[in-house]
Amino acid sequence: MREVYGLLHHGSGFGFINSFADSFKTPSHCAARTLLSLIIIIIRHGNSKTLAKMGKTLLFRASILLFLLPFLCNSFSPENPTDRRILVLLDDLAIRSSHSIFFNSLKSRGFDLDFKLAEDPKLSLKRYGQYLYDGLILFSPSIKRFGGSLDLASVLEFVDSGHDLIIGADSSASDLIRDIATECGVDFDEASGILYDAAAVVIDHTSYAVSEAEGDHTLIASDDFIQSDVILGEKKIAAPVLFRGIGHSLNAANSLVLKVLSASPSAYSANLKTKLSSPPSLTGSAISLVSVVQARNNARVLLSGSLDLFSNRLFRSAVQKAGTSIKYEKSGNEQFVTELSKWIFHERGHLKAVNVKHHKAGETAEPAMYRINDDLEYSVEIYEWSGTSWKPYVADDVQVQFYMMSPYVLKTLSNDQKGQYYTSFRVPDVYGVFQFKVEYQRLGYTSLSLSKQIPVRPFRHNEYERFITAAYPYYGASFSSMAGFFVFTIIYLYNK
Amino acid sequence: MEREKEKKGRKGERGWEGDVAGEERERKRDRERERESRLISFKVFSKNPRNQPPPKIKGMARSLWFLAFLLSLSVFTCKAAVFQPISDRHRSAALDLFVPVDGSFGSLEETYEALRTFQILGIDKVADINPATCPLVVETLASQSSKAKDIFHALRVNSILRCSIDTGAFEGAGSKLQSVLKDASSLLDFYYSIGSLVLIKDQSSESNVFLEDADGIFHSIKSLSQSDGRWRYSSNGAESSTYAAGIALEALSGVVSLASSGVDQSMIGIVKNDIMKLFDSLEGYDDGALFFDEKLVDASEHQGPLSTTSSVVRGVTAFAAVTSGRLNIPGDKILGMAYFFLGIGVPGNTKDLFNQIESLACLENNKISIPLILSLPATVLSLTSKDQLKVKVNTVLGLDAPPLTVELVQAFKSGSKDTHAFQGQELKFDPESSIHSLDLLSQSIDVGKYTLAFEVLLHDPEHKNIYTSGGRTLANIFVTGVVTIDGAEISVLDSDVGSVETKKKLDLSGESTVSLSANHLQKLRITFDLATPLGYAFVPHQVFLKLRHESKVEHIFVSGNSGKQFEIILDFLGLVEKFYYLSGIYDIQLTVGDAVMENSFLQDLGHVELDLPERPEKATRPPSPPVDPYSRFGPKQEISHIFRAPEKLPPKELSLCFLALTLLPFVGFLIGLIYLRVNLKNFPTSALPAAFAILFQAGIAAVLLLYVLFWLKLDLFTTLKTLGFLGTFLLFVGHRTLSYLASISAKVKSA
């Protein structure tokens, strides 16, 4: 695919080689990449004889590499949906150290993290039409303008092309970060800062984390999680999650965004330093602390109003929620963030459907057309990506529709616990062009949308029922009159 | 009485001070605002009215002292958040981060970082590392090909591990380094070779390492320095950097300690001047932390603020240690850098942790001034559990400070002009726990957020030159307590007269549910009193009244207060539109909360049934209730197709019965024929016509049989085709038969 793309795109030999060099994006192939870029330089500028000679030998070696290329590439693909290369944008490189547990857990799960300052003038997400990264982590809340070619539009385009995004904001969140969030269906509390020197933060006077060092109740201990094993893992998060930052609300018109961690009913979002004269815009459990978006193209976005949520300090911190006597040795942050990042980077909850089959009952071949009232059998195999391999997906709520303008038949599929889903039903007595449709949308899973068109015809003239008993009097009448006619002709002609 | 007088006097002081210092303060405040000062407490001073009675002379002197103090204070330490010294968290982090693989940490440089961090933190790991690392050290020292840098790291590791190395290896390395030093031109060459020589001198008792041309080397290093106190890595065109300055200072201090005959003191004086210039480029955070940052951003060996500051600290402290006389760096700057390193918290990677710990260790024993860190173990103090105000003073590594007294100089309550509160108190020292404490309850302190200003007074006057505590340290504390709630009432008023329709007492501490009803001409009033433990009025940050309609439309109201009493009046006439004309039951919920209120609560009060007028056409519709996300995803209800019912047919018997009936006329016909005595006498007798007649009748029978076959199995096309053939045949034989029969009947008629 890439080779072809390179040729089309550049229409020249250089472009072809460039696109190859481009496909070595993983650092593990750094040597190969350097080699190739060297060749490119030589081909481009190499007029002198020595260079050309050098180039020849290198080219020979490179050509061997080119054949190996398809085996070396292990980036994002439908067959292997987990992200591999992640760009981390920071507004201070110290975050790399203060949030190292989170980053190390990503590294240990096989991700290649590329740390850059958000104002790095060389930033770019794609080169020659190819994305350099599969995921983006924006831990640069205060950045007003990205460096390089990166801007709001290119971040959105990145997500629109199916890549994943994590945004960590805090009370210094800039308009740029707020705009990206707004485009994702999340509005960070705007009751901030021109008038005051600090933005509104989430305050909760009844479910804060008890601490001897912090008394302003902005460090919130929340345990109001979304009820979804696929997003937060099967193991229940026992300890509350510590959160310090700004709240956001979900856009009511956006059905793709989900509240993962919500504030308690007594929370509110306000500026600590000012007296409240009018009700704050965000109060109670309408405040979302952490939200996720799963776009229609299965791109996943995590939006957190707190960058500290990911920090080593809160990962390691002990937590006791106000009003309770249980003191947890460690906050739930590490588990929460790790599990959530597994979901965001498609290590969980990514489904694929293969082997969609249908045929008449008792047959095995797929017909080109069904007749009304035929009995048919439908089957599909569904697998879930576990991060390393495809495992059979087991659920009892997968449904198939036999659909023409509206569903005529909607049936729940039974499964054999090995990923195979099947059912059988009779084709309705309405003819037309139907579709087998599987629209599987479950909380946290990527949506499956399968459709297969199949025409349904009425009975042929000779397929109707013959010799109906009720018609025997008519048959009798006509045949007796025929017999009468025969006898009559004989009598009429030969009687004397 | 006595106390009140004093208070008044002090107020006067501040008023007077406001007159004199107006301009100076304005300028200062501008500067402060630029740096986003967080110091609220100073606003108190500027807000005082000017027409206060003139102060006494003694007061004037004191206020001048105060002013001078404030001026010096505002530059540096006034914003000190409370930094905690190195603690066990660092120890466990160090053990987590530096994990040896097969008894080794990888390269010698990493090994040194790990060992040095462990050494400073007091973790003994030497025995585990020794067996795997010592051979590597010996090999590096003995090898001919190892560079100055490798030897340097090997010697540094050896300084902790104390491997058994023979004197020959030291001497070999020493002479090699001396030769490197002779033709060294870049700063790093100097740094590594001099550093190694110093280490050899320390480690080998027998070897006698010294520099013959110390002044020359000193000069060549100094020649790389810049006018602003920074250094270049080499003489040919390299950019100057602060990180390099640290390295250079460390190298220079090595030269001084290795010099066989002292180094020119005037040169040392110049370097001291350079250091002063270097310190002019210190940058700062709001909280008083100071650090060096590298100006050049895209250099390949770019260093972050942490490693840059750490390099400078190492260099400066090493230089101060070997030179005589004091380096004239203000203690505040040293303290600011200590704050910077402590403010990082627990770093998450090995390099940062090493830089932090090692720099703090350098500061801990430096000759300039040793920072003392004043920290509060707890900043949230509860009146209910009678917490004491505790203050700890430690060195940066968490060791005990020399004998000293902590004095609470000032205390301001934020958000109020009242600066009442304890002042000039000396904290009690408990030698066992080394904690300075103050009993808050005896000070009749109320709940609130306070800014405390502490001052550290060293007992030994000698210590004042050795230690620095930064003068005054500010800390914010929260004093929490239980707020009493009284006289909670909810009532429905008639709008025009204001007379009370229904009135109910509320119990805000426990369960209470009221059910009220009101129409749009009435008002709802909720009142309650809040008072602090000392009986003063208390205004919490959060007082929300929430009305929630059955359809989940919510309305939030903020309460106003007059003194202790809080009152929320909802005039439904004005709120009809806001309520979207939705009549029905509204749940009432009251939330009262504040950071210093221990009994913050969120309580359902009951409900009120509102009778509002009909919604006019043009009024805005209520927002649609939020969709439950879980409901969007469930499986749909199954649909099965309802097939068209087959037509109703009569029973089989009836059809057969009617079949018999339809056959009856045929039978009647046959009987009639017999009754009429029909005959076949007209049938041709001669052979040919008889054959045609038989063929004609057979043809008719065949056509009829074809019809039967058509009914049974044949399709229309076969039938028509066959019928065509049969028809032609019938036409022919029919014509012959009929014409024969016609000729016979003609004969009969004519006869």
**Nearest residue, CB atoms, A212 vs list B378, B591, B623:** B378
Rg (CA), chain B: 53
Structure tokens at B202: 């320390």
Q: Please identify, among A42, A72, A102, the residue that sits at the C-terminal boundary of a domain.
A: A72
With cut-offs at 50, 70 and 90, classify the pLDDT of residue B733.
very high
**Residues within 8 A of A (CB atoms), B 585-614 only:** 589, 591, 593-597, 600-602
Q: Highest mean pLDDT: which of B7-21, B460-474, B676-690?
A: B676-690
The pTM assigned to this predicted structure is 0.77
Q: Please identify, among A344, A368, A403, the residue that sits at the C-terminal boundary of a domain.
A: A344
Mean pLDDT of B227-237: 80
A248 lies in the same domain as A289: yes
Nearest to A189 by CA among A259, A143, A250: A250
Name every chain B residue with its beta carbon within 8 A of the beta carbon of A426: 641, 643
Name every chain B residue with its beta carbon within 8 A of the beta carbon of A442: 633
Q: Do A496 and B681 touch (CB under 8 A)?
A: yes
Residues of chain A above pLDDT 70, percent: 82
pLDDT, one tens digit per residue, over B620-631 is 887 777 777 777
Mean pLDDT of B54-80: 42
Search chain A and give the residue with CA nearest B648.
A470
Search chain A and give the residue with CA nearest B298.
A120
With cut-offs at 50, 70 and 90, classify the pLDDT of residue B493.
confident
Structure tokens at B543: 């007082």
With cut-offs at 50, 70 and 90, classify the pLDDT of residue B255.
confident
Residues 6+ apart with CB under 8 A from B71: B24, B28
How far is residue B589's CA from residue A264's CA, in Å, rounded to a whole number?
A: 14
A138 lies in the same domain as A181: yes
Search chain B and give the residue with CA nearest A103.
B348
Q: B113 and B350 in contact (C-beta within 8 Å)?
A: yes
With cut-offs at 50, 70 and 90, classify the pLDDT of residue A281.
confident
Amino acid A60: pLDDT: 55
| Inside any domain, residue A11 | yes
Nearest to B331 by CA among B370, B282, B302, B295: B370
With cut-offs at 50, 70 and 90, classify the pLDDT of residue B302.
low
| Inside any domain, residue A320 | yes
- Cα-based torsion angle of the residue sequence B222, B225, B228, B232 in order, rounded to the nearest 10 degrees: -160
DSSP states of B334-370: HHHHHHHHHHT-S-SSHHHHHHHHHHHHHHHT-SS-E
Name every chain B residue with its beta carbon within 8 A of the beta carbon of A212: 377-380
CATH number at residue A432: 2.60.40.1930
**Nearest residue, CB atoms, B632 vs list A255, A312, A428:** A255
Name every chain A residue with its beta carbon within 8 A of the beta carbon of B380: 211-215
Amino acid B692: pLDDT: 92
The DSSP output letter for B109 is: H
Q: A32 and A24 in contact (C-beta within 8 Å)?
A: yes
The Cα of B266 is separated from the nearest Cα of chain A by a number of Å equal to 40
Residue B25 has pLDDT above 70, yes or no: no
Residues 6+ apart with CB under 8 A from A437: A400, A401, A402, A403, A407, A449, A450, A451
**Nearest residue, CB atoms, B556 vs list A266, A279, A487:** A279
- Least confident span in A136-145, B113-122, B418-427, B674-683: B418-427
Q: Do B593 and A429 touch (CB under 8 A)?
A: no
Structure tokens at B748: 């009969």
Residue B117 has pLDDT above 70, yes or no: yes
Which residues form the domain of A417? 350-461
| Inside any domain, residue A112 | yes
Residue linked to tokens 């004397």: A496
Amino acid B560: pLDDT: 75
With cut-offs at 50, 70 and 90, classify the pLDDT of residue A411.
very high
Q: Do B348 and A98 touch (CB under 8 A)?
A: yes
Do β-strands A288-294 and A300-304 pair in parallel, antiparallel, or remain unpaired? antiparallel
**Nearest residue, CB atoms, A266 vs list B344, B591, B636:** B591
Q: Between B172 and A413, where is the model more confident?
A: A413
A227 lies in the same domain as A319: yes
Residue B438 has pLDDT above 60, yes or no: yes
Amino acid A8: pLDDT: 34
pLDDT, one tens digit per residue, over B559-586 is 877 777 888 888 888 888 888 888 889 9
CB of B542 within 8 Å of a chain A CB? The answer is yes
A159 lies in the same domain as A279: yes
Residues 6+ apart with CB under 8 A from B420: B7, B413
Mean pLDDT of B517-533: 86
A484 lies in the same domain as A450: no
**Nearest residue, CB atoms, A489 vs list B379, B637, B700:** B700
A472-494 vs B652-675: helix crossing angle, rounded to 10 = 10
Q: Do B693 and A407 touch (CB under 8 A)?
A: no
Q: Do B661 and A270 touch (CB under 8 A)?
A: no
Between the CA of residue B678 and those of A488, A495, B674, B682, what are the distances in Å? 11, 6, 6, 11
How far is residue A202's CA from residue A449's CA, in Å, rounded to a whole number?
A: 39
Residue A401 has pLDDT above 60, yes or no: yes
With cut-offs at 50, 70 and 90, classify the pLDDT of residue A273.
confident
A313 lies in the same domain as A420: no
Examine the predicted complex and report whether its ipTM is higher than 0.85: no
**Residues within 8 A of A (CB atoms), B 70-109 only:** 82, 89
| Inside any domain, residue A486 | yes
pLDDT, one tens digit per residue, over A476-496 is 999 999 999 999 999 998 887
Q: Do B682 and A496 touch (CB under 8 A)?
A: yes
Beta bridge partners of B380: B478
A218 lies in the same domain as A295: yes
Q: Do B633 and A441 touch (CB under 8 A)?
A: yes
| Inside any domain, residue A80 | no
Amino acid B367: pLDDT: 82
Q: Do B693 and A493 touch (CB under 8 A)?
A: yes
Q: Please identify, among A320, A344, A368, the residue that sits at the C-terminal boundary of a domain.
A: A344
CB of B749 within 8 Å of a chain A CB? The answer is no
Nearest to B738 by CA among A493, A487, A490: A493
Residue linked to tokens 């002198």: A48
How far is residue B253's CA from residue B317's CA, in Å, rounded to a whole number?
A: 9
A251 lies in the same domain as A382: no
Between the CA of residue A329 and those of A192, A312, A326, B345, B424, what are the distances in Å? 35, 14, 10, 19, 39
| Inside any domain, residue A79 | no
Average pLDDT across chain B, whole number = 79
Q: B39 and A197 in contact (C-beta within 8 Å)?
A: no
Mean pLDDT of A52-77: 48
Q: Between B737 and B443, where is the model more confident?
A: B737
Residue B611 has pLDDT above 70, yes or no: yes
**Residues within 8 A of A (CB atoms), B 191-220 only:** none
Amino acid B390: pLDDT: 86
With cut-offs at 50, 70 and 90, classify the pLDDT of residue A147.
confident
The Cα of A493 is separated from the nearest Cα of chain B by a number of Å equal to 7
Q: Between B561 and A461, where is the model more confident?
A: A461
A45 lies in the same domain as A17: yes
Task: Work out how many domains chain A is built from and give that number.
Answer: 4
Name every chain B residue with its beta carbon within 8 A of the beta carbon of A105: none
With cut-offs at 50, 70 and 90, classify the pLDDT of residue B37.
very low
A30 lies in the same domain as A155: no
pLDDT, one tens digit per residue, over B630-664 is 778 888 899 999 998 888 888 999 999 999 999 99
| Inside any domain, residue A78 | no
Beta bridge partners of B363: none
Task: Region of B532 please: left (phi>0), alpha (psi -120 to 50) or beta.
Answer: beta
CB of B672 within 8 Å of a chain A CB? The answer is no
The Cα of A267 is separated from the nearest Cα of chain B by a number of Å equal to 9
Residue A48 has pLDDT above 80, yes or no: no
A103 lies in the same domain as A61: no
A192 lies in the same domain as A163: yes
Give the best residue of B294, B416, B591, B673 to mutate against chain A (max A CB count within 10 A).
Answer: B591
| Inside any domain, residue A373 | yes
How far is residue B512's CA from residue B601's CA, in Å, rounded to a whole number?
A: 13
- Least confident span in A186-195, A332-341, B199-208, B334-343: A186-195
pLDDT, one tens digit per residue, over B700-729 is 999 999 999 998 888 899 999 999 999 999
